[in-house]
Amino acid sequence: MKIAFIGLGNMGSGMALNLHKAGHEVTGFDLSDAAKSQLAAQGLQVAASAVDAVQGAQAVITMLPASEHVEQLFIGTAEQAGLLAILPAGCLVIDSSTIAADTSRSVGAAAAARGIDFLDAPVSGGTAGAAAGTLTFMVGASDSTLARAKPLLEAMGKNIFHAGEIGAGQTAKICNNMLLAVQMAGTCEALALGIANGLDPKVLSEIMRRSSGGNWTLEVYNPVPGVQENSAASRGYTGGFGTDLMLKDLGLALNNAVKNKAATPLGTLARSLYAAHSLQGRGAEDFSSIIKMLQKPV
Ligand code: NAD
Note whether 136 and 227 are same-domain residues. no
Last residue of a domain, one of 145, 165, 185: 165
Cα(10) to centroid(ligand 1), Å: 7
CATH number of the domain encompassing residue 182: 1.10.1040.10
Average pLDDT (123-127) is 95
Residue 296's pLDDT is 84
What pLDDT digit, counting tens, does each position of 163-198 carry?
Answer: 999 999 999 999 999 999 999 999 999 999 999 999
Name the nearest CA neighbour of 184 among 217, 208, 159, 156. Answer: 217
For ligand 1, whether the C-beta of 92 sits within 6 Å is no
What's the domain count of the chain? 2
Note whether 191 and 138 are same-domain residues. no
Note whether 251 and 154 are same-domain residues. no
For ligand 1, whether the C-beta of 286 sits within 6 Å is no
Note whether 41 and 175 are same-domain residues. no
ipTM over 0.95: yes
* 145, pLDDT greater than 80: yes
Note whether 44 and 115 are same-domain residues. yes
Distance CA 185, CA 65 (A): 22
Average pLDDT (64-70) is 97
SS3 call for 48 = coil
Note whether 54 and 190 are same-domain residues. no
HSE-up of 180 (CA within 13 Å, CB side)? 26
Note whether 220 and 120 are same-domain residues. no
Last residue of a domain, one of 130, 165, 200: 165
Distance CA 51, CA 87 (A): 9
Note whether 200 and 255 are same-domain residues. yes
Note whether 269 and 136 are same-domain residues. no
SS3 call for 119 = strand
Note whether 151 and 185 are same-domain residues. no
The range of the structural domain enclosing residue 288 comes to: 171-294
Note whether 12 and 71 are same-domain residues. yes
Distance CA 169, CA 48 (A): 31
Residue nearest to atom 39 of ligand 1 (CA): 241
Note whether 63 and 117 are same-domain residues. yes
